[in-house]
Amino acid sequence: MNDFEIPATESTPLIRTDRAAGRLEMSGDSYPENSFELFQPVLDWIAGFLGQLLQPLTLELKLLYLNTSSVRAMMDIFDALQDAHDRGQPVEVNWRYDRDNERVADLAAEFKEDYSFPFEIIPGS
């Protein structure tokens, strides 16, 4: 469960983990052809963090456009957070977006409906 950072590309977001701070950041667009390859390290890191540590985990998201396979991969990530939440481990998601881009807010809101852990959708400029 070592920390890692994957720089953003045209079609993939910046991904950065911080075990000490209990934080995972993802920002940018995500539309790779193989999203599962991209997100597997994220899922592994989250599973490691939630399995070994009892400290809170926060996902700081500034994700913009997600293709459908990225949406599917995000579901797996949020499901892992929900399992931890159900076990009593504190987890939260903060998803920041530009208030002009309502599609991002729509997408985040559709995810939020399916989970009971704290899930903030935060407009900015």
Partner 1 sequence: MEEVDVLSLREAFSRQGIMLGFNGPFSATLMEEIGKALRKHMEGLAESPSAITDVFSAYIELSQNIRHYAASSGVSGAAAEATIIVSRDDAGHYVVSAGNVVLHDDGETLVARIGELAALDKAALKAAFKTQMRKPRDPEAKTGAGLGLIDLARRASQPLACGVKPLDSQHAFFSLRVVI
Q: Given the structure tokens 């991002």, which residue do they identify?
A: 104
SS3 19: coil
C-beta of 2 vs 10, nearer to partner 1: 10
Q: At closest approach, how far in Å is the CB of 72 from partner 1? A: 6
Q: At closest approach, how far in Å is the CB of 67 from partner 1? A: 5
Between residue 2 and residue 61, which ones bind partner 1 under the rule CB under 8 A?
10-11, 31, 33-37
Among residues 7, 18, 103, 120, the one that binds partner 1 under rule CB under 8 A: 103
Q: Given the structure tokens 């667009």, which residue do they identify?
A: 29
**61 dihedral zone (left: phi>0; alpha: psi -120 to 50; beta):** beta
Q: At closest approach, how far in Å is the CB of 65 from partner 1? A: 6
Q: What is the DSSP string of 32-62?
A: -S-HHHHHHHHHHHHHHHHHH--S-EEEEEE
Query: How many angstroms separate the CA atoms of 52 and 107, rounded?
Result: 31
C-beta of 21 vs 71, nearer to partner 1: 71
Q: How many residues bind to partner 1 according to rule CB under 8 A?
A: 24
Q: What is the contact surface with partner 1 in residues (CB under 8 A)?
A: 10-11, 31, 33-37, 64-65, 67-69, 71-72, 75, 98, 100-104, 110, 114
